[in-house]
Amino acid sequence: MTTAATPAKPAPPLWLLAELTYRCPLHCMFCYNPLNYAENKKELSTAEWVDVMRQARKLGAAQLGFSGGEPLLRDDLEELIAEGHRLGYYTNLITSGVGLTEARIARMKQLGLDHIQLSFQDSTREMNDFLSSTKTFDLKARVAALIKKYDYPMVLNVVLHRFNLDHVAQIIELAMAMGVEYLELANTQYYGWGLLNRAQLMPTREQVVRAEAVVSEYRARIGNQVKILFVVPDYFEERPKACMNGWGSVFLAVGADGIALPCHAARTLPGMTFPNVTEMSLHDIWHNSDAFNRYRGDDWMQEPCRSCDEKARDFGGCRCQAMALTGDAANADPVCSKSPHHQEVKNIVLHNMIKPVSTQQPVIFRTDANSKQFFLG
């Protein structure tokens, strides 16, 4: 048994992501939420969330993200922010901006909210509104101004794909004009609705190369004025991402229904039962549950990961991606060129380059009606 990467007692979680609700006014085609999110409308109560936050803080989590769905749809968000602040978390609100009125933004500042991450879908109104299947561009622009008016640090998040990769320069200009501290250019990760719409979203290699060049050029020119985080489009890579910095390593997500997850997308893994915070303490979940221990360390690895000298760096990549693309979550993430399935990833990329968009299946937006098709049959 290799024990080097399998400590007897796991290090504490550093991140608690509270996915407060799966309700969302947007219908983004690349959403990572589960396809069947509408199946389970049950949400944890305020008291249950407060309990989760207290337990996670005690375990060691210092970063707290309020996400969803759209967290602003929870009427108790302010109460949860206040409690998060009192507990000593650095509190992050991850929002579409829909519902963020001046009154709420001012109140959240008083209550100790530390930072707001606002999503835009594009630098243009037309594409923003198309991708999210809403008319939200102007509203988001007003919210961005409010966030800076109330002196919050701000991350502007834009998910990138075929439809907007060529707008990267305009998106960076938009971020500079807004005065944001960070711009997260997140190339689509293909989970949930993103995986469903992969054929439409997958860019060409030329688009990726051009966008990377634009980002480098801006970084050199604007320095620290806006810090640009570029989440690589991993299908185009030769080595996998160090997903979640390792399974059960630093990240703990709790879904609206109380399911605890080592990564946002882990619900898609078949044959796994994820514990619920209403039935098990977070301490037990983090330290003792089968779900959180399943892919910790490297004992679970198969070849080529098991004997790979890079396994401590990338942890074999992403379990959910290995599952989605190879049918076995314990396989190497096929983004890795050492994976026997790597050619299939290259084929997906290639296939999308040669296939005209017009012949592809229609886009499927993240709506309750579409979601219901995934569990009603």
Partner 1 sequence: MSTQDPQSKPKLAKLFRLQWEDVQQNYVLLYPEGMVKLNHSAAEILKRCDGVRDVAGIVADLEATFSAQDLHDDVDDFLREARSLNWIN
CB of 88 to partner 1, least distance (A): 7
For partner 1, the binding residue among 65, 69, 255, 334 (CB under 8 A) is: 65
90 or 374: whose CB is closer to partner 1? Answer: 90
Question: Restricting to residues 68-107, which ones interact with partner 1 according to CB under 8 A?
Answer: 88, 90, 92
The count of residues interacting with partner 1 (CB under 8 A) is 20
Q: Are 228 and 183 a contacting pair, CB within 8 Å?
A: yes
> Over the Cα atoms of the chain, what is R_g?
20
User: Cis peptide before 304, with omega less than 30 degrees from 0?
Assistant: yes
Selection from 238, 252, 265 nearest residue 329 by Cα: 265
50 or 155: whose CB is closer to partner 1? Answer: 155
Burial category of 19 from C-beta neighbours within 10 Å (exposed 0-12, middle 13-18, buried 19 and up): buried
For partner 1, the binding residue among 6, 36, 40, 63 (CB under 8 A) is: 63
Q: Are 236 and 210 a contacting pair, CB within 8 Å?
A: no
| CA 60 to the chain's CA centroid | 21
DSSP 5-69: T--SSPPPP-EEEEE--S--S---TT--S-TTGGG------HHHHHHHHHHHHHHT--EEEEESS
For partner 1, the binding residue among 18, 53, 59, 325 (CB under 8 A) is: 59
Binding flags for partner 1, 192-231, as an x/- string (CB under 8 A): --------------------------------x-------
- Under rule CB under 8 A, residue 117 binds partner 1: yes
Binding flags for partner 1, 13-32, as an x/- string (CB under 8 A): -x------------------
For partner 1, the binding residue among 5, 6, 51, 60 (CB under 8 A) is: 60
* CA gap 174, 179 in Å, rounded: 9
For partner 1, the binding residue among 166, 181, 237, 310 (CB under 8 A) is: 181
Backbone angles phi, psi at 94, to 5 degrees: -110, 110
Q: Which stretch binds partner 1 (CB under 8 A): 73-81, 98-106, 150-158, 338-346?
A: 150-158
Q: Which residues pair with 183 in a beta bridge?
A: 156, 228
Interface positions with partner 1 (CB under 8 A): 12, 14, 58-60, 62-63, 65, 88, 90, 92, 114-115, 117, 153-155, 181-182, 224
